[in-house]
Amino acid sequence: MLLAQLAVMFVGIVGDADATISKQLAPVVAHAHVATATMAMTDIALLTHHRGGSRALVQALHSDGVIGAELVDTHGAWILRVVVYDGAGELRSFDEMPLASRTLSPADLAILATKFDEVVAAVPAAAAQVTAAPGTKEPSASPVAPPVAPDAGDAVRIDEIEALTSPTDVAVGPSTAQTLHLSASVGFGVLVRDFAAGPLAIPNYATSPIGAIRFEAGARPTAHTTLTGVAERSLSMSTALADGDAPTSISRWEIRASYELVHGARLALAPMIGLGHRTFAIDSTDPMRSPDGDYQYAVLGASAAMPVGTHVTMRAHVAFEPVFGGTEAGAMAFGGARRWAIAAGLGIDVRPIDHLFARLAFDYQRFDWTWNAGERAQGGATDIYPSGILSVGAEY
């Protein structure tokens, strides 16, 4: 008599963009004598969310049990969701394991190894009995006994699963790559300009807080990569000159890319690079007015995010921004200036419900100028732009 192996199948993990957890689980799956099956990411997500059609998917595998998993990013905190179905397509367990990072710790692996062993042990030996037919040396197989379903008391109520998951929180695609996440927001607030020059020939300039509007859009093509675009502009501004008020504007745009080197449940750290353009302009030809500001610069910095509870995330960034272009005030009198900036920001994101957020952000950008024109250009110049913006947006 020969015994067939237990037909419990592991169909894979959805959301595991770099396959790190899949690789960690491979020896656990092998040790538990669980077979592996190839299934589309969308189908695995259907199983992990227990949507309509999950029963048919399981039955099509003709197995005694099916295990599927999903790595869920809950705004910086990672959860590994594991579901188990019996051969008839009934959901038998639904577990969510909080992770400290996007990898499994030894303790996590031990828990999952126990889980896989329990699933296999719960399936009866349903083995095919193979005997030799009379007068021949070839074996003939008897029918395989049907699997015995676990006790009904162990089954997970479907309404409980529906309450824990929603149709829109699936991060899947046609391959193992994480689905593209997109976000957009619009905000209103205030900004200030404070320009101070050492040379007496260059007039200073300072404003009271001016109303401003900001647009921000983001894309997350992979689990670690984020692309961000920001544009802001003063709403209504003028400068008092000898011949009357002159229309004035402050504007800025930036495009940044960041890659998270550290992505854990408590802290995410990412270096970032990008390009930006800051301008201050007075619509006047008055030679006695303060000069315009025009800066084309690179962004070299880092950002950090730290979840505070379930719905709040603290954010911060710092950057060094060397200026490589833009019109220079004072170039005719003092020659070309060396210009660079430092920037910093602090923000608070609040997510009252899935996909919607409010963001309060405080930014600071300071440009420094130095000339090589001796004492007449002593002191250089500083051009400072603080701002505070309250935005609302959505992310999918």
Mean pLDDT of 94-115: 87
- CA-to-CA dists, residue 333 to 199, 202, 314, 377, angstroms: 10, 10, 45, 9
Count CB neighbours of 395 within 10 A.
Answer: 17
* Residue 27, helix vs strand vs coil: helix
In which band, very low, low, confident or very high, does the pLDDT at 271 lie, cut at 50, 70 and 90?
very high
Cβ 296 vs Cβ 313: under 8 Å: no
Residue 174 lies in a domain: no
Same-domain pairing of 359 and 274: yes
Q: Which residue range(s) make up the domain with 93?
A: 8-164
Mean pLDDT of 43-51: 86
Last residue of a domain, one of 113, 131, 164: 164
Mean pLDDT of 107-125: 84
Total tally of structural domains belonging to the chain? 2
Residue 285 lies in a domain: yes
Q: What is the DSSP letter of 89?
A: S
pLDDT for 58-99, tens place per residue?
888 888 899 999 988 776 678 899 999 998 889 998 888 888
For the cut 90, the answer to whether the pLDDT of residue 187 exceeds it is: yes
Please state, in angstroms and rounded to a whole number, the distance separating the CA atoms of residues 5 and 2: 10
Same-domain pairing of 120 and 260: no
For the cut 50, the answer to whether the pLDDT of residue 222 exceeds it is: yes
Residue 175 lies in a domain: no
Same-domain pairing of 244 and 341: yes
Nearest to 381 by CA among 202, 192, 193, 191: 202
The DSSP-derived string for 125-166 is --PPPEEEPTT-SSEEEPPPPPPPPPPGGGSPPHHHHHHH--
Same-domain pairing of 244 and 388: yes
CA 106 to centroid of chain Cα atoms: 25
Mean pLDDT of 197-225: 90
Average pLDDT, rounded, for the chain: 81
From 69-73, 240-244, 308-312, the region with the lowest mean pLDDT: 308-312
Phi/psi for 2 (5° steps) reads: -115, 145
pLDDT at 373: 64
Last residue of a domain, one of 164, 190, 212: 164
pLDDT at 129: 35
Same-domain pairing of 133 and 205: no
Please state, in angstroms and rounded to a whole number, the distance separating the CA atoms of residues 10 and 43: 13
Per-residue buried b or exposed e for 121-131, using 16+ beta carbons within 10 Å of the residue's own CB: ebbeebeeeee
Please state, in angstroms and rounded to a whole number, the distance separating the CA atoms of residues 102 and 56: 31
Of the ranges 2-16, 34-48, 319-333, 339-353, which is most confident? 339-353
Nearest to 77 by CA among 95, 93, 94, 96: 96
Same-domain pairing of 135 and 230: no
pLDDT at 154: 40
Burial class (CB in 10 A: 0-12, 13-18, 19+), 388: middle
Residue 176 lies in a domain: no
Same-domain pairing of 206 and 286: yes
Same-domain pairing of 286 and 217: yes
Residue 1 lies in a domain: no
Residue 170 lies in a domain: no
pLDDT for 130-155, tens place per residue?
334 444 444 433 333 333 333 434 44
- CA-to-CA dists, residue 310 to 167, 184, 260, 349, 376, angstroms: 20, 21, 20, 11, 57
209 residue type, one letter: P
237 residue type, one letter: M
- The tokens for 303 are 């950002």
CATH number, residue 370: 2.40.128.90
CATH number, residue 155: 3.40.50
Same-domain pairing of 325 and 370: yes
Please state, in angstroms and rounded to a whole number, the distance separating the CA atoms of residues 130 and 139: 6
pLDDT at 333: 64
Residue 169 lies in a domain: no
Q: What is the DSSP letter of 114?
A: H
Same-domain pairing of 108 and 56: yes
Please state, in angstroms and rounded to a whole number, the distance separating the CA atoms of residues 304 and 344: 12
- CA-to-CA dists, residue 117 to 4, 120, 121, 299, angstroms: 17, 5, 6, 51
Residue 258 lies in a domain: yes
Same-domain pairing of 253 and 372: yes
pLDDT at 355: 82
Same-domain pairing of 116 and 201: no
Cβ 198 vs Cβ 378: under 8 Å: yes
